[in-house]
Chain A
Amino acid sequence: MFGKLDWSAIPISQPIPLITSLVVILVVLGVLGLVTAKGWWPYLWREWITTVDHKRIGIMYCLLGVVMLIRGFADAIMMRTQQALAVGGAQGYLPPEHYNQIFSAHGTIMIFFGAMPLVIGFMNFLVPLQLGVRDVAFPTFNSVSFWLTASGALLVNVSLFLGEFARTGWLPYPPLSEAAYSPGVGVDYYLWAVQISGVGTLVTGINFVTTVLKVRCPGMSYLRMPMFTWTAFASSLIIVAVFPILTATLAMLTLDRYVGWHFFTNTAGGNPMMFMNLIWAWGHPEVYILVLPAFGIFSEIFSTFSGKPLFGYRSMVAATLFICIVSMMVWLHHFFTMGAGPAVNTFFGIASSVIAVGTGVKIYNWIFTMYGGRVRLAVPMLWSMGFIFTFIIGGLTGVLLAVPPADFLVHNSMFLVAHFHNVIVGGVVFALFAGLEFWFPKAFGFRLHEGWGKAAFWLAFFGFWVTFAPLYIVGLMGMTRRLQHVIVPAWAPWLYISAVGVAILALGVISQVVQLVVSIRDREKLRDVTGDPWDGRSLEWATPSPPPFFNYAVLPNVAGEEPYWGIKLRAVETQQLAPEPQYEPIEMPVNSPVGFYTAFFASVFGFAMIWYIWWLAILALVAAYAGFAWFAWRDVHEFEVPVEEVAQADRARRAAREAALARLSEQGALP
């Protein structure tokens, strides 16, 4: 009846997962209880769960990403303290079967459910606003994407208190991940969680490629699109190209495990090396799916806080597309040490370092954006400067790893661990925090507290270096990654320093949480009345904060790069806004529960497959499919926003802008 599932799936004998599970369950029940007691369900259902508004979906993606970042960070604390405690003969407090789950969960959660949702959240929130349009190409599909991602995150977290998670690393290399060597449900949790959320990501990619190609406001030609939109477009192109590889590869591993096929087994003609090739043919481009939008965020910030257009815009577009293409030709550098031969290693070594040309150009362009500027060192700019320093050094160690003979010494070492955290934390995570600070007022109508923001930056910056600089050194001392205990005593001091670093990082995380709480408390004082808190340049700052659900009462007509900067300059010169446009009713897509419904049954399907509950799996699959079929037969998919509502919203926006203009001329800030 229940497949493999019985009472022994609950980790009664393991106090750490048991207590954590109980706390998590209590918190979730508490939140659900609060929502019920306050009667918030109808509001949540109407305004958030069934929403197809790209801004709200973006915010939900970011919320999911932030919660998962904290979850993954808890794993990181356990890993660093375990390695600091388990030195000499000691075994630390995590036995291998638990420690191995923790580093696997850390990587899986950080990449698939932390970084990806945040990056996609920014894409969702910003791309339609920056393109001057009202939504993405397929709004309901977008809601399906989000809920499928959330469904994957849910399955990973269920593994905490039912069964176990994978003990095979964040990429489950066969033959270790095959049924013969990993008979438990851990790898199955991984497979179904990543498969279900992977479908969501692929749909996002399709959605954003279509949006950028087909849904732009009048005059928004490709070479007028803001840099963030360009990078989001490049990233979506990579998603469409490589996520099918991930799906196919994991499907093959699933067939091996469930029906005894031999794609990657070490017997009967299976080829585990093929898994390495396929998974990295997805895995390396994945890094650029994350980092290209991060580059886009930094481009917007450098330009805005220097008070200047981005230096070498066309060059930046070229460098982005260059990286987009070359990123798919470098995967083999993840296993130079497999003995592919010097010709193959040379090709992939040079291809990998060639990517540094694209990134190098970007770094110089950001530097020259500051030239002749008026650089304001607000919190987003601090993160950006921290990024320049950190990312350049990450780039250096990255090129070292691309040199095969050097890689022969540090492959899979702590040096590698330090390197990829250097680029992913220093590149992607710093960008996400900079972006949260930068666009938070746009999303919620008030700024984040500056002092706590600065504290969070400095703690994260120093915490990062104190954590990872020692890992470079132990890597050079020969320490390999994923060790549950450490035998060489000379490594110990560096592991202690690294554990101190993670404590500093934890203070940074706490500062971010405090910043959010303090900002919500002081929201009236931090209110952004004009909708343009940073003296912005691209179209999203033309809307009020938060923007109305239809974004623009009248679609803008764009006449150049940085359209909003042009509008603002004209208003300042003539000391008045453009004349009031003629308002018309707007067609907007209706809300739909189909995303939530499908994802609910997808979660049930995944869970049933993990535990071999076949009848439930079939039932859930049929139900999920029925949801799609029912949606396909809908009669009404848009509703009309009456002209009065549009006019009223836009007049309020114009009034705020006029007041701001008057304030500026009173202060004598105008020419």
Chain B
Amino acid sequence: MGGLHDSRDRLARACKGLIVVLLALSLASCSGGVLDPLGPVGADDAAILIDATVIMLAIIIPTILLAFWMMWRYRASNPKGEYLPYWSYSGRIEAVVWSIPILTIMFIGGVIWIGSYKLDPFKPLPSKNPPLEVQVVSLDWKWLFIYPEEGIATVNQLVIPAGTPVHFSITSASVFNVFFVPRLGSMIYAMPGMVSQLSLQADRPAVMFGQSSHFSGDGFSDMQFQVQSVPDAEFTAWVRTAKGGGRPLDRAAYAQLARQSQNVKPYTYASVDPQLFHAVATQQIPPAPGPEPENPSHAGREVSTGGHD
């Protein structure tokens, strides 16, 4: 018996250990995700996500418990469960079972209505600081960020001043992508020939990751970019440094950039053609080319450049 106890204890301890590890993992996982917002948009989105979850948990937990209680109570081997072989209708229960979901959904419907208007991505953020303008172009397979007021551009690197709203104008030079910085909140599509608007803000200095949230081809997994929110002074200093070094982004440099490439390391352009974003978004510059395989006569199979071009 003792041995059995021991093994039970050991099992219990192992279970407890496992639970602790899982809890620690869940807590750790909260940091850096959409439930760890760094700005007002992310915070409001996350609050709605959590509110809606709680509203529904209030209904579904009792429902699940009721289902399993019903199964247990009326199991065939339980003599206490009364057998009602013809009972199949009750107007009162019907009224209740239609009402519960309807009321829940009316409540959620309110959340949807108010939330959709309040958190419309196109809406500017209220702030005493004027917003920073950033133009975003998704390319195969990297992100181009143009700072029109500062006259600089970056690839796969987004630096923004903390505490200032940022107004993004987003387009794509090739296929669909989604611009998404999880800790800042709302994502939005980057689409060729169209410009999406998005306002985000980081409240504190931090380093975050951003990504494409819409599959766009072979180099998609590396379409990630670093986002740094920095104090105002540091931002000004960074702009000055960027202006000092690097190539200009003119039409020729853009044509080179627009070709497919994978796993592109971040870099900056010292100056940028002021009409570039407009020309890309209105397709005055034709869309970026697709794959350019070295050996085009390959039957049916596309040849990947594998990121080594």
Contact = CB atoms under 8 A, between A and B. Distances in A.
A336 B215 CA distance: 16
B49 A406 contact: yes
Contacts of B82: 372
Contacts of B216: 176
A572 interface: no
A272 B117 contact: no
Q: What DSSP secondary structure best describes chain B's contact surface? A: mixed
A388 B68 CA distance: 9
A88 to B, nearest CB: 13
Contacts of B189: 335, 337-339
A405 B93 CA distance: 34
A482 to B, nearest CB: 4
A440 interface: no
B156 interface: no
Interface string B93-127: 11011101110110011011101111111100000
A308 B217 CA distance: 54
Contact of B290 (A181, A395, A476, A484): A181
Interface in A130-171: 162-164, 167-169
B60 A396 contact: yes
A655 interface: no
B70 A370 contact: yes
Interface stretch (B129-137, B248-256, B296-304): B296-304
Interface residues of B, number: 111
Contact of B49 (A310, A374, A409, A474): A409
A625 interface: no
A409 B109 contact: no
B33 to A, nearest CB: 4
Contacts of A343: 116
Contacts of A312: 88-89, 93-94, 97
Nearest to B216: A176
Contact of A399 (B56, B115, B197): B56
A399 B299 contact: no
Interface in B217-247: 217-222, 224
B178 A482 contact: no
Contacts of B32: 477-478, 488, 490
Contacts of A380: none
B70 A267 contact: no
A570 interface: no
A392 B56 CA distance: 10
B182 to A, nearest CB: 3
Nearest to A398: B56
B261 interface: no
Interface in A587-608: none
B113 A350 contact: yes
B108 A353 contact: yes
A529 interface: no
Contacts of B145: none
B191 interface: yes
A375 B84 CA distance: 12
Which residue of A167, A180, A368 has the most chain B CB atoms within 10 A of its CB atom?
Answer: A368
A207 to B, nearest CB: 31
Contact of B53 (A163, A396, A490): A396
Given A307-B85, A473-B26, A481-B215, A272 B192 contact: yes
B302 A183 contact: yes
24 contacts: A95-B306, A100-B218, A163-B301, A169-B215, A173-B175, A182-B290, A186-B302, A272-B191, A307-B76, A315-B94, A337-B188, A356-B101, A364-B97, A372-B74, A375-B70, A375-B76, A377-B75, A402-B112, A404-B115, A405-B186, A409-B42, A409-B49, A476-B34, A611-B300
5 residue pairs, one from A and one from B, having the closest CB atoms: A360-B101, A478-B182, A372-B84, A163-B300, A477-B33
Interface of A: 4-9, 11, 95-97, 100, 162-164, 167-169, 173, 175-176, 180-186, 266-267, 272-273, 306-313, 315, 335, 337-339, 341-343, 345-346, 349-350, 353-354, 356-357, 359-361, 363-377, 385, 388-389, 392-393, 395-396, 399-400, 402-406, 408-413, 473-474, 476-478, 480-488, 490, 493-494, 611
Given A97-B218, A357-B105, 14 more contacts: A4-B299, A96-B220, A307-B83, A312-B89, A338-B196, A345-B112, A353-B109, A361-B97, A370-B67, A373-B74, A376-B76, A388-B64, A405-B116, A481-B215
